[in-house]
Amino acid sequence: MLLLLVAIVASPQQPPPLSFFGFRPGMAMAEARSLITTLGGSLSCKKTSDSRLRECTGSMPFPGLVRPFAVLVSSVRDSVGVMVLSANISEEDTRAWVRALIQDFGRPNHKDRGTRESWQWIRRSQMLRVVMQRPGVHLETAVTLTHGPLLDALGPPENKKPD
């Protein structure tokens, strides 16, 4: 019994699940839609050729942003498989978000490639990535949340029934 107690005390604390302003990879689509509409945004989904998937697009205002986030979601069985939030955001705001994410999730992998920088966290087969780039005059930032197990479990596309 004492050995078990020592093992529990000695094990490192699990870091929190990856998230960005309440959005989490793998969250239920109903929860994601509710969060988007609560913030004054909208999201519309359409079927794809694979009945397990839906593609959703929308926009969401966010405090401090002049223009709203563009929202793109690939839904797998009514859960967020991949979510991308993108907008023209100042470099200062992007770096402030990255600092907050570092406080929450620890040191990320960081890459600097001239006009593009990215920060990435991977935990329990989930990923959060922030990409800041200057494709032209404006600075664009995209935040991507990916749930690996949902995507991996898809396997090959379901067979379509004959017409």
From the CB of residue 23, how many other CB atoms can be counted at a distance below 10 Å?
A: 21
Cα radius of gyration rounded to whole Å, the chain: 18
pLDDT of residue 156: 77
What are the structural domains, with CATH classification, of the chain?
22-42+50-154 (3.40.1000)
Determine the Cα angle at 124 with ends 145 and 18, to 5°: 40
pLDDT of residue 12: 60
List all residues 6 or more positions away from 123 whose beta carbon is below 8 Å from its beta carbon. 15, 17, 18, 105
Q: Rounded distance, CA 29 to CA 39, Å? A: 15
Residue by residue, pLDDT tens for the chain (163 residues) are 444 444 445 456 777 889 999 999 999 999 999 999 999 999 999 999 988 899 999 999 987 788 899 999 999 989 999 999 999 988 888 999 999 999 999 999 888 887 889 999 998 899 999 999 976 667 899 999 999 998 888 877 766 555 5
